[in-house]
Structure 1
Amino acid sequence: MSIGIVGTGISGLHLALRLRQFGIDTTLYTAQEPDDIRGGPPLNFVTRFDSTRERESALGVTAWSSEAYDNAWMHLNVEGPGGISFRGRLPKPASSVDFRMYLATLLEEYRRRGGDPVRLRVADRAGLERLAERHDLVVVAAGRGALTEVFPRDPARSPYLSAPRHLAGGLFHGVRPPEPAGMTMHMVPGAGEIHAPTYHSFTGQVTAVLVEAVPDGPFGALTGRDHRGDPDGFAKEVLALVTAHAPALRERVDERDFALARPVDLLQGAVVPVVRRGWAPLTGDRYALAVGDAWITNDPLTAQGANLGSALAFHLADALREHTGPYDAAFCHAVSERMWRIARPVVDWTNLFIGPPPAHLGTLLAAAAADQRVADAFVAHLDRPDAMWRGLAGPESTDEFIARAQSVRSAV
């Protein structure tokens, strides 16, 4: 069998490396060389939870196993009158490493292991059809541009037609890590969220400050302009927003040193959460199968995108290894539906958080602020999206989630 993989995000790279471990012939198509990836602006600020790190161990990818890259704690603040805050410790630390470094290293690792990535920009359906002449199956893991048009939006699974958040952020010097060190999220009702994980990038330890703005809300002035030509002005606007809306974060900022680590380390954009049809016919009896962002795009609010992409890549690799028949419509439909069972809790959980907050979500966050056992359970479930969703799906399940957490002895 021969598998063509389009895209070098985490889904494409984990899939390519895993299939090489299985001895399955792959060709990885990339629009960028490793140094191009390293030299570009950030597309995201990823935190990789322990399940993803375990998959990296299975792949033999150990470049970031040092504790220097770990984030063991999550701090959450709901700002404003009557605000609440809590922190919880992950059962095993997450890792926050600049994804440009991460992806470039994995692409080099694929080549080191005998893979031969092909520098080719596959931009549209016609490009996929040409690849279908060379491969038994084409897997699309590139989630941007015209390729996504090959996989139509699934309206039953995609409640948003426009971006519920606009994004602006960067990698900054001049921010002390929280105590204990880890990730922080500040939820500002009616305005959006401010994420501030401790991060490892090209200049060492920095803080990734990402503002998610409700359109036309108080954060809109920051996200509504193109700041790429004025990185210093952008840093000043970020600091002003943090000062006004996230006082606990502001206390950790040294105004004299607060600046983008490098002018290129600035992110702006918007994400429309969407689930697309997971497969598409190409030519004759050949098909394209979508994975990662090419199939499902989630808002970064719950920090699940890359972790889900890795999980789906491993599931697909297992399905390809175990399958003995043709990669026809029946195979593509079946594997897509099986992957949906993995992805659905992430989609539902993320959509719950970016929509108008239901009362039972407030009940859970208040319980976490009042009881460390609930806080620890909530943070632990960041790496268990299926269990997290079972605890958030409605008022009764949330009450059960809280009761279960309160029935165990706190580890803190």
Structure 2
Amino acid sequence: MSDIAIVGAGISGLHLALRLQQAGVTTTVYAERSSEDLAAGRPLSLPVRFGKTRDRERELGVSYWEGGDDDTLGVRLVARGEPGIEFLGRLDAPASGVDLRLYLPTLTAEYLERGGRVVVLRPDASEIDRISRDHDLVVVASGRAATTGLFPRDPERSPYTSPQRVLTAGLFHGIAPVDPGHIHFQVSEAGEIFSTRILTADGPVHGMVVEGLPGGALEQLASYDHLEDPAGFEKTLLSLVAEYAPDLRERINDREFGIRRPGDVIQGGLTPVVRRSWAALDSGRIALALGDAWIVNDPLAGQGANLGSRIAFELAELIVAGGPFDEAFAERVAERLWRIAEPVVAWSNLNVAPPVEHVGGIFVTATADQRVADAFVANFNHPADMWEAVKSPDATRAWLDKITEAG
């Protein structure tokens, strides 16, 4: 029976560990932090898990957040200008936002309860080589620089060399909920602002993400010291929301608005990248890249955690089929997993590229036609279908014709 090391205890690493556990494969998860430290620390990210990811959670037996305050039923997209764009599309299955400081410790506890093993360790490349000597295969699911150095950037699949958005995200009180619950997404010349309901250990709050274009007005938030001057940070944020997302500003109660707790803000920027998907270690073992160790997508399309979960399930199937876990195996894995990841990466990269006319045409049509709005939003749960719909003007015309003729 195989013995697999999984370095990283994020969504992709834990979904892989739980899936292999179901198949009777021995695993050890090497986590950078204990669950207690994670729960008490700063937020990691604010992922929305779409319907297919939630289906996988049900398969894993970890669907703890069903039909609650975190359910998201649609996406509202607003862009002021001529022509104005505004539509609310329905998802084909409810999505969910759960604070990772609640989500990850819960899954880790379940993995341990089922007999899994967790070692708290922050390994670098040399430590991964040492770990590999105790296992048949190492899967690296941690996006830390010390571990991703094993997997060089793939320039043919990585068109960007710098962040395309400057990110500020946080958890806030004082934003009125919407009915039905949905992601509010506002597009402007300065970037994008979106918000959604997030379930935390203290109950539901709102997550807000500001994705500023480099050099634009929204960029300033990413360098504002929210710990030193939280009131000033909140005032600046409200001012920018009023200018660039006025619909969202109307839902904010000034007296109640504020950061959920000190430090509940994320700032910085992510460079979209695809890295080489495996490495041969000095030990003679193979290390496979998973999650952020392999692919980093800008969060604008909301696909990072969802792709990580999808790839984890696919990788589990390949591992269960058996070794030897050699270079030939690694190449088979790379080919199969890239077929899944490629359209998701392409769509995510399109989201941060300059606007293209045919995608704008979808938004204009969706504003006037609920069928198109629903079909577009449903594809957040089907990213390969989304890419097929937006990859070219001809593809978009064919997709729109199919939607409107079917109705």
Aligned to 2:378: 380
- Give RMSD over aligned pairs: 1.2
Q: Give the C-alpha shift of residue 267 in structure 1.
A: 1.1
Aligned to 1:150: 150
1:269-308 pair list within 5 angstroms: 269-308=268-307
Name the SS for the 1:207 alignment partner: strand
Can you list the C-alpha shifts for 1:113-160, whole angstroms capped at 9, x where unaligned? 1111011111x2101110111111100000122211110000000001
Moved over 6 A (4+): none
Q: Give the C-alpha shift of residue 236 in structure 1.
A: 1.4
1:349 to 339, 347, 350: 347
Q: Give the C-alpha shift of residue 226 in structure 1.
A: 3.3
- 2:163 and 2:264 map into 1 onto residues whose CA distance is 23
Name the SS for the 2:29 alignment partner: strand
Name the SS for the 2:161 alignment partner: coil
- 2:331 and 2:229 map into 1 onto residues whose CA distance is 48
Are the aligned partners of 1:132 and 1:283 in contact in 2 as well (CA < 8 Å)? no
Q: Give the C-alpha shift of residue 178 in structure 1.
A: 2.7
- 1:111 and 1:233 map into 2 onto residues whose CA distance is 43
Are the aligned partners of 2:49 and 2:305 in contact in 1 as well (CA < 8 Å)? yes
- 1:126 and 1:354 map into 2 onto residues whose CA distance is 35
Aligned to 1:178: 178
Aligned to 1:364: 362
Aligned to 1:319: 318
The code of the aligned residue for 1:220 comes to E
**1:332 counterpart = 2:330:** yes
The code of the aligned residue for 2:353 comes to G
Q: Give the C-alpha shift of residue 212 in structure 1.
A: 0.5
Aligned to 1:58: 59
**1:118 counterpart = 2:119:** yes
Name which of structure 1's ranges 327-336 and 177-186 shifts more when overlaid on structure 2.
177-186
Aligned to 2:245: 246
The code of the aligned residue for 1:355 comes to A
Can you list the C-alpha shifts for 1:86-120, whole angstroms capped at 9, x where unaligned? 00111111011111110111111111111110111
Aligned to 1:169: 169
Aligned to 1:89: 90
Can you list the C-alpha shifts for 1:210-246, whole angstroms capped at 9, x where unaligned? 1001111111221233323222222111111101111
Are the aligned partners of 1:79 and 1:245 in contact in 2 as well (CA < 8 Å)? no
1:383-398 pair list within 5 angstroms: 383-398=381-396
Are the aligned partners of 2:69 and 2:197 in contact in 1 as well (CA < 8 Å)? no
Are the aligned partners of 2:225 and 2:233 in contact in 1 as well (CA < 8 Å)? no
Are the aligned partners of 2:130 and 2:283 in contact in 1 as well (CA < 8 Å)? no
Name the SS for the 1:67 alignment partner: coil
Aligned to 2:203: 204
Q: Give the C-alpha shift of residue 283 in structure 1.
A: 1.9
Q: Give the C-alpha shift of residue 40 in structure 1.
A: 1.1
**1:402 counterpart = 2:403:** no
- 2:44 and 2:325 map into 1 onto residues whose CA distance is 32
Aligned to 2:7: 6
Name which of structure 1's ranges 379-388 and 71-80 shifts more when overlaid on structure 2.
71-80
Name which of structure 1's ranges 78-87 and 194-203 shifts more when overlaid on structure 2.
78-87
The code of the aligned residue for 1:297 comes to V
**Judging changes above 3 Å, is the alpha-carbon distance between structure 1 residues 227 and 68 closer, same or farther for their aligned structure 2 residues?**
closer
- 2:53 and 2:75 map into 1 onto residues whose CA distance is 17
Name the SS for the 1:357 alignment partner: coil
The code of the aligned residue for 1:204 comes to G
The code of the aligned residue for 1:11 comes to S
Are the aligned partners of 1:183 and 1:197 in contact in 2 as well (CA < 8 Å)? yes
Name which of structure 1's ranges 180-189 and 326-335 shifts more when overlaid on structure 2.
180-189
Q: Give the C-alpha shift of residue 327 in structure 1.
A: 0.5
Are the aligned partners of 2:139 and 2:290 in contact in 1 as well (CA < 8 Å)? yes
Q: Give the C-alpha shift of residue 67 in structure 1.
A: 3.0
| Number of positions where the alignment pairs a residue of Structure 1 with one of Structure 2 | 406
Name the SS for the 1:117 alignment partner: strand
Name the SS for the 1:380 alignment partner: helix
Query: Normalized against structure 2, the TM-score is what?
Result: 0.97
Name the SS for the 1:57 alignment partner: helix
Are the aligned partners of 1:228 and 1:266 in contact in 2 as well (CA < 8 Å)? no
- 2:285 and 2:399 map into 1 onto residues whose CA distance is 46
The code of the aligned residue for 1:326 comes to P
Q: Give the C-alpha shift of residue 326 in structure 1.
A: 1.1
Aligned to 2:71: 70
Q: Give the C-alpha shift of residue 284 in structure 1.
A: 4.2
Are the aligned partners of 1:301 and 1:354 in contact in 2 as well (CA < 8 Å)? yes
Aligned to 1:139: 139
**Judging changes above 3 Å, is the alpha-carbon distance between structure 1 residues 133 and 109 closer, same or farther for their aligned structure 2 residues?**
same
- 1:70 and 1:361 map into 2 onto residues whose CA distance is 27
- 1:28 and 1:198 map into 2 onto residues whose CA distance is 30
Are the aligned partners of 1:129 and 1:282 in contact in 2 as well (CA < 8 Å)? yes
Are the aligned partners of 1:174 and 1:255 in contact in 2 as well (CA < 8 Å)? yes
Name which of structure 1's ranges 60-69 and 302-311 shifts more when overlaid on structure 2.
60-69
The code of the aligned residue for 1:180 comes to P
- 2:231 and 2:105 map into 1 onto residues whose CA distance is 28
Are the aligned partners of 1:10 and 1:310 in contact in 2 as well (CA < 8 Å)? yes
The code of the aligned residue for 1:118 comes to V
Name the SS for the 2:49 alignment partner: coil
- 1:58 and 1:25 map into 2 onto residues whose CA distance is 19
Q: Give the C-alpha shift of residue 384 in structure 1.
A: 0.4
Q: Percent identity?
A: 49
